[in-house]
Amino acid sequence: MVFAPGEKPGSEPEEAKLQIASKQIVQNAILRAVQQVSREIRQGEAGAGDTPRGSFRPGAGELTKKHEKK
């Protein structure tokens, strides 16, 4: 087996550990994002009052001046 500069024997198991840890970090981040969106949707529905679920709300999803690209 030939090693690249800076690479040492035994780094393959370490690489596998890093890949597993990286996947777990990404999965946790995705899970948190989905949970946050779910909460926001529920809060929006609860605060919508007489707006039927899934109906069109003018201005929803539009960029504000703060978010517009210049």
pLDDT tens-digit series, residues 55-65: 556 666 666 65
Q: Which helix (H) or strand (E) holds 10?
A: none
Q: What is the pLDDT of residues 10-61, one digit of tens each?
A: 578 899 999 999 999 999 999 999 999 999 999 988 776 555 555 556 666 6
Q: Residue 12 half-sphere exposure, CB side, CA atoms within 13 Å?
A: 4
- Positive or negative, the CA dihedral 38, 42, 48, 52 is positive
Alpha-carbon dihedral sign for residues 58, 61, 63, 67: positive
Question: In the numeric block, which tokens belong to residue 1?
Answer: 């087996």
Cα(1)–Cα(27) distance, integer angstroms: 34
